[in-house]
Amino acid sequence: MLLKIKRVPTVVSNYQKDDETVEEGGCGRNCLSKCCIDGATLPLYSCKNLNKSIGEKSESPVKFLESLVLGEWEDRFQRGLFRYDVTACVTKVIPGKYGFIAQLNEGRHLKKRPTEFRVDKVLQPFDGNKFNFTKVGQEELLFQFEASNDDNDSGIQLFPSIPLDADNSPSVVAINVSPIEYGHVLLIPRVLDCLPQRIDQKSLLLALQMATEAANPYFRLGYNSLGAFATINHLHFQAYYMAMQFPIEKASSLKITSTNDGVKISKLLNYPVRGLLFEGGNSIKDLSDTVSDASVCLQNNNIPFNILISDSGRQIFLLPQCYAEKQALGEVCSELLDTQVNPAVWEMSGHMVLKRKDDYEEASEEKAWRLLAEVSLSEERFKEVNTMIFEAIGLSSHEVAEEEEEEQSSMNNGFIRVHCPSVKEEEACI
């Protein structure tokens, strides 16, 4: 089946004019490539946190990492480095049980870097000619981030100015110049190594460590595989602050199984997207590696997916999807296509960025649900994919089937749990 691929011109940087050509030896754009990187320095945030103790005892004050991210972001904001003021984009919570969040953002669509690769293959090699993060201006970088596993290190350290040295394989946090929300950043693991957009153990662990270090349940990290609406084939995660729950975080879940490392795997219930929820584990690394192995399995089977890291790194959602394929096969109705919503991780989580005023004004929970339901794998396909994943993680499908059966039979006892619904009510239980 030949899927159509749209050819788009290479856009190198948001500050480059359309017809400017790249000069040999020093491009004058202060980027990260060999032409400009000599002498480049960035602050380095270094922490050790492989086994963070869980348990917030209070409304935790703004932690160090959060101050650094917000402070640097605001600095770039005031310097006008973003394509538009995202705080000027009107946003609302759609009335309903789940509280989908809708934002009207006309600028992002028009000014965003276009996608430059085929959308039918999850694994594609890195192409230095296409746009990648070594081509961004250094002013878009906020700091280097590292989280060591070494017990000898002494907690958090901020070094105001450390050279960007390829030998150290630095990972950086950069601004997203087309932000979805205030504080929207990109975590680019080992930026100078030019890794393609694919999950591996080391990178996912770094993302999880950042979530843990941020220690704010409203700071989530997300990942889009190729084919699940990633737009740049250079390994990166996204993150931003949204001080309320995402609909996906409210969805109930049903435990499927636990791994030997104590990682609990559940499936989502009562949510338009079928997906898995990973939590627990004897350590952050156990949780991260389990999800990473599952992701690698999906990658190797060419199944596009998104990842949401939530609850300060305690919960990871793995969401396979098939919207790109459906689009290419012409199976998506025009009503949904016209909204031009590309369901990446944030949309999958319930944060919908809309391009047209009408779509925003008429946004409803039912419409959001319908869109996401199209993106989701079917029940049958989801079961197949789960089988693949469990095998890849090293769980015998026999074990899993047993547990699932037991859940089924206990469900069939017909007990309905009475629960005070968590929707807004005037007088509730008084």
Closer CB to another protein, 27 or 142, in the complex: 142
Residue 112 and residue 218 in contact, taking contact as beta carbons nearer than 8 Å: no
CB of 138 to another protein, least distance (A): 17
Residue by residue, DSSP assigns 367-378 as HHHHHHHHHBPP
Closer CB to another protein, 227 or 247, in the complex: 247
Token reading at 243: 């001080």
| Dihedral, 409, 415, 418, 424 alpha carbons, nearest 10 | 50
Residues numbered 293 to 312 that lie near another protein (CB under 8 A) are 311
Q: Which one of the spans 168-176, 188-196, 265-273, 390-398 is the region binding another protein (CB under 8 A)?
A: 265-273
Token reading at 352: 């919908």
CB of 391 to another protein, least distance (A): 22
Distance between terminal CA atoms of the chain? 61
Q: Which of 109, 236, 351, 398 is catalytic?
A: 236
| Residue 287 makes contact with another protein by CB under 8 A | no
Closer CB to another protein, 196 or 280, in the complex: 280
Token reading at 148: 């060591």
Closer CB to another protein, 2 or 416, in the complex: 416
Closer CB to another protein, 143 or 323, in the complex: 143
Of residues 4, 22, 23, 87, which one binds another protein by CB under 8 A? 87
Residues numbered 134 to 173 that lie near another protein (CB under 8 A) are 157-160
Residue 173 bridge partners (DSSP): 143, 187
Judging by DSSP bridges, how do beta strands 351-354 and 101-104 pair with one another?
parallel
Binding pattern for the stretch 395-414 against another protein, x by CB under 8 A and - elsewhere: --------x--xx--xx-x-
Closer CB to another protein, 228 or 363, in the complex: 363
Q: What SS3 state is found at 102?
A: strand
Q: What whole-number distance in Å separates Cα of residue 326 and Cα of residue 415?
A: 39
Residue 298's nearest CA partner among 196, 391, 398, 232 is: 391
CB of 427 to another protein, least distance (A): 6
Q: Where are the alpha helices (DSSP H) in 155-302?
A: 201-214, 247-250, 284-300
Residue 256 and residue 405 in contact, taking contact as beta carbons nearer than 8 Å: no
Alpha-carbon separation of residue 312 from 64, 120, 239, 407 (angstroms) = 14, 32, 12, 29
| Residue 1 makes contact with another protein by CB under 8 A | no
Q: Is 184 a catalytic residue?
A: no
| Residue 260 makes contact with another protein by CB under 8 A | no
Of residues 197, 245, 259, 386, which one binds another protein by CB under 8 A? 245
Q: What whole-number distance in Å separates Cα of residue 309 and Cα of residue 11?
A: 30
Of residues 249, 289, 347, 374, which one binds another protein by CB under 8 A? 249
Residues numbered 44 to 83 that lie near another protein (CB under 8 A) are 53-62, 64, 66-75, 78
CB of 240 to another protein, least distance (A): 9
Residues numbered 174 to 193 that lie near another protein (CB under 8 A) are 181-183
Residues numbered 5 to 44 that lie near another protein (CB under 8 A) are none
- Name the residues annotated as catalytic: 236
